[in-house]
Amino acid sequence: MVGGRGGRVDLADLAGSVGDSSTVDAPTNSDGVFRANVPLGQLVANPRNPRGEVGNLEDLATIAERQLQPGTVVTRAAWLALWPEDAAQLGAARWVVVNGCRRLAACHHYQRAGMDVVIRDSLAHDRQSILWAAIVENIDRQDFDVLEEAHAVELLVAETGSATAAAERLGRSSGWISQRRALLKLAPELQQALRNGELAVRLARSLAQVPLAQQVDAWRKAQDRRGAGREVPRAADVAAEPVTPATVMSRAFRRVKAQPTDVVVAVCEIYDETQINELIVLLSRNRRLSPKT
């Protein structure tokens, strides 16, 4: 395009240079329109993003020099038509980033002036479509927290009205949906262990079937069995075993790999002389009480 004084004007640069004070905005039928270098102050991350944290942004460090893929946005008006209660969260932003929230965070982190985006108001057809778009961008990524994924699935189930409808929307089986939703039934301690990589997803799904009050104990029993080189049973079976002081103590000894001298020191701190003598007699007479004999 030729400018008023004979110079050439890049339309993409012109679109990206539109400021907050300008009356120029996206045309009514703006779906698919590309805008280059949109000022970061005009953009806000998806308030319904299933990712609670953007994580480490080092893999996006090159965005300071070049953005390889534009983010996907919807207009403020399109978003508020679906979620009017989000007005305060949007602030003065003109665009809501549906896909590309990590890219937006990286632009801020690496002090990029703006972000390239594509307008897709067609995604704001209904709430389901927005949630779907946010989930499919992250699903199966190695850095996507499995519990965030579970929360996202739960939101989609609530929005579609059934697990079956959510499965069809995501192109997943009903079993996959139920397995993810089950993780939300885990005790807080187990959810944290799952996030830390200390609890395998396979065992977590099994533990989620155990009553909440018994889940942590069932997990510890499973850890003890694994440490002893024995096959780890289903969590439901483990939880059914009676918990006695003896099992609690043996579990603790195995967990810290206590040596006989450690046990002696502990016993001397807890028992008086009479109790220690009684313990010696019991040890000499009742070794048959051990489950190993």
Residues 6+ apart with CB under 8 A from 87: 80
Length of the chain: 293
Asked whether the predicted pLDDT for residue 218 surpasses 50, the reply is yes
- The predicted model gives 82-90 an average pLDDT of 94
Q: What pLDDT is stored for residue 232 in this prediction?
A: 45
* C-alpha pair distances (Å), 195 with each of 176, 190, 214, 216: 19, 9, 20, 15
- pLDDT digit string (tens) for 199-212? 888 888 889 888 88
Residues 6+ apart with CB under 8 A from 11: 1
Asked whether the predicted pLDDT for residue 270 surpasses 90, the reply is no
Q: Residue 235 and residue 217: Cα distance in Å, rounded?
A: 10
Q: How many CA atoms lie within 13 A of 279 on its CB side?
A: 12
Which of the two residues, 180 and 143, has the higher pLDDT score? Answer: 180
Asked whether the predicted pLDDT for residue 92 surpasses 80, the reply is yes
Q: Residue 287 and residue 136: Cα distance in Å, rounded?
A: 59
- The predicted model gives 1-12 an average pLDDT of 41
Asked whether the predicted pLDDT for residue 281 surpasses 80, the reply is no
DSSP code for 242 = P
Question: Token pair of 155, please?
Answer: 């939101």
- What residue ranges define each of the domains in the chain, with the CATH number in brackets? 1-19+28-138 (3.90.1530.10), 256-286 (no CATH)
Other Cβ atoms within 10 Å of 108 Cβ, number = 14
Q: What pLDDT is stored for residue 290 in this prediction?
A: 43
Q: What pLDDT is stored for residue 269 in this prediction?
A: 76
- pLDDT digit string (tens) for 42-59? 999 998 887 767 777 888
- The predicted model gives 66-80 an average pLDDT of 93
Asked whether the predicted pLDDT for residue 93 surpasses 80, the reply is yes
Q: What pLDDT is stored for residue 49 in this prediction?
A: 80
Which of the two residues, 5 and 186, has the higher pLDDT score? Answer: 186
Highest mean pLDDT among 8-22, 45-59, 69-83, 268-282: 69-83
Question: Which residue matches tokens 């012109």?
Answer: 14
